[in-house]
């Protein structure tokens, strides 16, 4: 009679310990793109050399994608899209409503984004860099 009771207790202990939560489960989820969201001042863009503001917002249809309004001094009615992975933001080649082709990437570091991107406007290719600051 004692042997079945010991086996039962061992099984119960195993069940209790297997159901405990990991500390990792208690850590709140932080999306990589959150640090990129908001309004960014552009003061040192190499192609246009003017000051403007870019707004980066979350794409509600894709958890790793963001929408960029006014990117590359564009006044496009439709925002450009980019993908965030860690501290990198990648702007895949796309055409905006102004008929510009745009592609590039940026790196988030020290609360700013350092960009390197290409604009193709009416066949002219512009290689640009910019620093975004909040």
Residue 48: pLDDT band (50, 70, 90) is: confident
pLDDT, tens digit, for every residue of 96-128?
A: 888 889 999 999 999 999 999 999 999 899 999
Nearest to 83 by CA among 94, 91, 93: 91
Q: For the chain, which residues make up each domain, given as ranges?
A: 32-133
Contacts of 44 (CB under 8 A, 6+ apart): 130, 131
> Within 10 Å of residue 113's Cβ, how many Cβ atoms?
24
Q: Which CATH class is domain 32-133?
A: mainly beta
pLDDT, tens digit, for every residue of 10-23?
A: 555 555 555 555 55
Task: Supply the pTM of this predicted model.
Answer: 0.76
């Amino acid at each position: 009679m004692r042997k079945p009771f010991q086996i039962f207790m061992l099984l119960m202990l195993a069940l209790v310990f297997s159901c405990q939560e990991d500390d990792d489960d208690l850590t709140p989820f932080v999306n990589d793109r959150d640090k990129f969201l908001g309004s960014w001042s552009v003061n040192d863009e190499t192609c246009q050399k003017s000051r403007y503001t870019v707004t980066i917002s979350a794409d509600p249809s894709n958890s790793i994608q963001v929408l960029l309004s006014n990117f590359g001094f564009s006044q496009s009615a439709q925002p450009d899209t980019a993908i965030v992975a860690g501290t990198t933001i990648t702007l895949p080649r796309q055409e905006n409503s102004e008929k510009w082709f745009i592609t590039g990437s940026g790196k988030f570091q020290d609360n700013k984004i350092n960009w390197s991107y290409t604009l193709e406007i009416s066949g002219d290719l512009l290689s640009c860099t910019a620093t975004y600051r909040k």
